[in-house]
């Protein structure tokens, strides 16, 4: 029996602090792969992989194109690339910017919806504007569990508010309650995946763009 073994998290402004708080509360045996997109400027290198690896028990790394997805690992969207998943492999997409960003949260969540559906959980945390709202809605429509940080708890509440205003997420919780919720959800059986729309499939293909270099942005 499949369990919910894919967790996708999107965040922006205030997100580094939120991610550090979240990952330090994960158990060392957390039985899911964790994909994270946070808006990172492409002109600067980032040490977020080291920061998160030190903060919690799970190793974090910037994703490499074509690598398999493994449970108990944290995969970060590299600067300049959308982080996507396709048949349990990671894809670094060079498609157009969305919400003025690449990496963007919506492409990641849409690819998770298309690939994994009822096996997946998605969360939108603190941030400005509305990136993540459309992708989280798509994940819910495909059978995934949708989670939003309580806007009253977020450093920047706009992204959580946008997600809540777009559809009714399954859970709206403060950040401190999220680790226990995820530990509970990850051990539950996966539900049947709903059929994906043609538009969703096209949007995921568009985000892939041209073929990125193998190992791009390796750390």
Catalytic residue among 5, 49, 131, 153: 131
Supply φ then ψ for residue 215, to 5 degrees: 75, 10
Rounded distance, CA 218 to CA 61, Å?
Answer: 9
86 included as an active-site residue? no
Q: Is there a contact between 11 and 40 (Cβ–Cβ < 8 Å)?
A: no
219 included as an active-site residue? no
In total, the chain counts a number of residues equal to 219
Question: Residue for token digits 């994940």?
Answer: 139
Catalytic residue among 12, 94, 111, 137: 12
Q: Is the dihedral of CA 8, 15, 47, 44 positive or negative?
A: positive
12 included as an active-site residue? yes
User: What's the token pair of residue 76?
Assistant: 């970060």
Buried b vs exposed e over 21-57: b needs ≥16 C-beta within 10 Å? bbbebbeeebebbbbbbbbbeeeeebebbeebbebbe
Residues with catalytic function: 12, 39, 131
């Amino acid at each position: 029996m499949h369990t919910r073994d894919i967790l996708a998290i999107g965040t922006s402004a205030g997100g580094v602090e939120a991610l550090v708080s979240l990952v330090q509360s994960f158990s060392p045996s957390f039985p899911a792969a964790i994909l994270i997109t946070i808006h990172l400027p492409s002109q600067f290198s980032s040490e977020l992989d080291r920061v998160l690896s030190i903060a919690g028990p799970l190793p974090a790394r910037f994703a490499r194109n074509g690598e398999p997805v493994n449970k108990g690992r944290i995969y970060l969207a590299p600067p300049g690339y959308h982080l996507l998943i396709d048949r349990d492999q990671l894809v670094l997409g060079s498609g157009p910017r969305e919400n003025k960003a690449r990496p963007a949260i919506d492409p990641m969540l849409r690819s998770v919806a298309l690939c994994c559906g009822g096996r997946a959980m998605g969360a939108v945390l603190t941030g400005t504007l509305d990136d993540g709202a459309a992708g989280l809605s798509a994940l819910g429509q495909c059978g995934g569990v949708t989670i939003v940080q309580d806007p009253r708890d977020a450093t920047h509440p706009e992204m959580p508010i946008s997600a809540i205003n777009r559809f009714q997420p399954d859970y709206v919780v403060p950040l401190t309650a999220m680790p226990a919720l995820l530990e509970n959800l990850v051990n539950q059986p996966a539900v049947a995946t709903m059929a994906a729309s043609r538009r969703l499939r096209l949007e995921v293909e568009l985000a892939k763009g041209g073929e990125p270099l193998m190992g791009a942005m390796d750390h």
